Amino acid sequence: MQTEQANVEYFFRLLYDLFHGLQGGTGFDAWWVLLHQIWYWIIGISYTLSALGFFLIVYETMQLFELRKREEEYYSTLLVAPQAADSGSARWQHIQSLMEEESPSAWREAITEADIMLDDVLTERGLPGDTLGEKLKAGDFRTLNDAWEAHKVRNQIAHEGSLFDLTDTLARRTIQRYESVFREFGAI
């Protein structure tokens, strides 16, 4: 019986019998046999496609893990450019030039840049933590309060954006707090 199910000639014979009548059978029997044959073909094709799909998923998953391993190796290797003697000073000069503008958007950018610089300074000093807030919690230095207050202003800028009313006085006071921290660490 199994060889008849896979036999293409048998399938076409069933089609012929369906339209020209079976010898000794009714039209309903022919339809029933035809539906069974079609169903067996559908099942066979489905199993084949499922097996191919399964192997494709396994192969792609292995490729994904290999890619992630290569990405981890690539991104875990820090490429540190040789630092010029003035690299901190150049960043600080850029921040100060932003503060000299009469634009609150420039002041927001200056505070954001100073916060990034603070994060870099604390990372270089080996403070643990993924975020600046975590590093400040782990920190114990003289200007820690200034760092917290400046970081709080940066957070307000980040969360409220242009809706945050940044005055000239608040911006200058915040930059002075960053400056005191940078001076303590010798970053500027």
pLDDT in tens, 11-58: 777 777 666 655 555 556 767 777 888 889 899 999 999 999 999 999
Rounded-to-integer distance, Cα 69 and Cα 124, Å: 26
- pTM exceeds 0.85, yes or no: no
DSSP state of 83: P
Q: Residue 49 sits in which domain range? A: 2-76
Span 75-90, average pLDDT: 60
Residue 166 lies in a domain: yes
The reported pLDDT for the residue numbered 8 is: 76
| Amino acid type, 172 | R
Tell me: do 72 and 111 sit in the same domain.
no
Tell me: do 66 and 129 sit in the same domain.
no
Tell me: do 101 and 65 sit in the same domain.
no
Grade residue 84 by pLDDT with cuts at 50, 70 and 90: very low
For 133-169, the pLDDT digits (tens) are 899 998 888 999 999 999 999 999 999 988 888 899 9
Grade residue 118 by pLDDT with cuts at 50, 70 and 90: very high
Instruction: Work out how many domains the chain is built from and give that number.
Output: 2
Phi and psi for 180 in degrees, rounded to 5?
-65, -40
Tell me: do 126 and 168 sit in the same domain.
yes
Span 120-130, average pLDDT: 90
More confident residue, 162 or 5: 162
Residue 148 lies in a domain: yes
Residue 12 lies in a domain: yes
- pLDDT more than 70, % of the chain: 82
Grade residue 1 by pLDDT with cuts at 50, 70 and 90: very low
- Give the E-state strand segments of the chain in sequence order: none
Mean of all residue pLDDT scores within the chain? 84
Rounded-to-integer distance, Cα 28 and Cα 47, Å: 28
CB contact set of 178 (below 8 Å; sequence gap of 6+): 95, 111, 114, 115, 117, 118, 146, 147, 150
Residue 81 lies in a domain: no
Could you tell me the CATH number of the domain that includes residue 92? Answer: 1.20.120
